[in-house]
Amino acid sequence: MSSQILQTDNVTTQKLKDLFEQAFYTVTSQKDIFVVQEQGHRANKWAVQVSNNKQIKFSALFTGKEAPIESKLNFCNRINQDMNTLRTSATDQFILMDWYIPLDGGILEKTVILSFKYFQILVDDAIGRDQEGLLFK
């Protein structure tokens, strides 16, 4: 993995996909987004995409356990209040967690990979806050 700087004028989904492959992640492309195939984590999908060439968006999608929408929304509200770097939302079918990394001024390629690993830690921490086991256990 190189120390090149990604900036708003040179970042693309393909460049990010190549970067993750160089870091030994298995990825699959889906239009303007790519999915990281990650074993050992509880998310159904880990997605990475460029958002308006101004930021990189990391997402984790959960479609597992059935729970009332009120329980999901209460969980999301608790996470959004307690963990201000992680944004969480829910529908009847899934829970989505995401985090945006700004590109303004540039970011090292290595920092993108380390940020994704940190995002996974944040997601695991958020899941651990479901003490009742309503959504994830």
What CATH number is given to the structural domain containing 104? 3.30.1460.70
Residue 1 has pLDDT above 60, yes or no: no
| Chain segment 25-74, per-residue pLDDT in tens | 888 887 777 788 766 566 788 888 988 888 999 999 988 788 999 999 99
What pLDDT, on the 0 to 100 scale, is given for residue 39?
Answer: 62
What pLDDT, on the 0 to 100 scale, is given for residue 78?
Answer: 95
pTM of this prediction?
A: 0.89
- CB neighbour list of residue 59: distance below 8 Å, 6 or more residues apart: 45, 46, 47, 48, 49, 96, 97, 98
Tell me, yes or no, whether 134 lies in a domain. Answer: no
What pLDDT, on the 0 to 100 scale, is given for residue 55?
Answer: 92
Secondary structure letter of residue 131 according to DSSP: T
The whole domain housing 32 covers: 5-125
Residue 137 has pLDDT above 70, yes or no: no
Taking 3-state DSSP, the helix, strand and coil percentages for the chain, each rounded to the nearest 5, stand at 30, 30, 40
Both tokens assigned to 66: 């059935």
Number of domains into which the chain is organized: 1
What pLDDT, on the 0 to 100 scale, is given for residue 101?
Answer: 93
| Chain segment 97-135, per-residue pLDDT in tens | 999 999 988 999 999 999 999 999 999 999 999 988 878
Tell me, yes or no, whether 131 lies in a domain. Answer: no
Tell me, yes or no, whether 19 lies in a domain. Answer: yes
* Rounded Cα gap, residues 70 and 7, in angstroms: 40
Tell me, yes or no, whether 133 lies in a domain. Answer: no
- CB neighbour list of residue 36: distance below 8 Å, 6 or more residues apart: 20, 25, 26, 27, 46, 47, 48, 116
What pLDDT, on the 0 to 100 scale, is given for residue 40?
Answer: 59
Secondary structure letter of residue 137 according to DSSP: -
Better pLDDT: 79 or 39: 79
Secondary structure letter of residue 4 according to DSSP: P
